[in-house]
Amino acid sequence: MSSHARPGGHEEAETPQEISRRQWMGNATIAISGVIGLTLAIPIVGSLIPDVGAGGATWTPLDENGWTQLQAATDTPVHIDINLKSKDAYLPEQSSPQSVWGIKVKDPLKFMRDRSDLFGPDGKDLLPYPIVNMGFVLFSPICPHLGCYYQWQGAQNRFLCPCHGSTYDPNGALTHGPAARGLDPLPLREATGVAQCEWIRYAPTIPDRLVISYTA
Ligand code: FES
């Protein structure tokens, strides 16, 4: 049994009521600390996951030649340059040359079958933007395994990542790992006659598409 000092210096055993009150206080302190920790943790974790449409991503024009090539494309994916601009609060605006891959979707039902990771059973897009727009799909050029830049290999009719050998069919479906998902589609739109895309970086290695950044 526990004991504690009484006035006069005597050690006295605690009564069962005192022990249970002390244990209750200890448990209450742990519970309150947990709530405070959770309250702090949620905004921190949340801040790591930018919201599409919440102002993080910006529309970037597609290179005009690339867009014209994509419109004329048949079965071959088209590599399209973009000039990605980013602005940090304390630095001048930065430009970084990037690119996206575009495909023409001739058979939307086949595309939906091939890319069942992107559509629900009712055919709805699983991403918060249209995956096929104006008959085209744009893909991030970044391999969803660990972030290398993959290339189109016409002879094999596959996108191939040189780093660890992941391959993707012409619709971006994963055909060989170690990547855990197919290629990541990006938002596409046409505004005032100019085709534009939004740059989104999704978390590597996992099957789900979790936004981690809107910068290169
Ligand atoms: S980064 Fe592409 S397969 Fe590993």
Copy the structure tokens of residue 89. Answer: 């609060």
Euclidean distance between CA atoms 212 and 128, whole angstroms: 15
Into how many domains does the chain fold?
Answer: 2
Q: Is residue 11 part of a domain?
A: yes
Euclidean distance between CA atoms 82 and 91, whole angstroms: 21
Is the CB of 181 within 6 Å of ligand 1?
no
Protein residue whose Cα sits closest to atom 4 of ligand 1: 164
**Cα Rg of the chain, angstroms:** 27
pLDDT tens-digit readout, 6-20: 444 445 566 666 656
Copy the structure tokens of residue 197. Answer: 């895309």
Nearest Cα residue to 80 out of 92, 71, 67, 95:
67
pLDDT tens-digit readout, 131-164: 999 999 999 999 999 999 999 999 999 999 999 9
Q: Is 3 helix (H, G, I), strand (E, B) or coil?
A: strand
Query: Is 169 found in the same domain as 85?
Result: yes
Range of the domain at 136: 59-213
**Phi and psi angles of residue 188, each rounded to the nearest 5 degrees, phi first:** -130, 140
- Interval between CA 173 and ligand 1 midpoint (Å): 14
Q: Is residue 52 part of a domain?
A: no
Mean pLDDT of the chain: 82
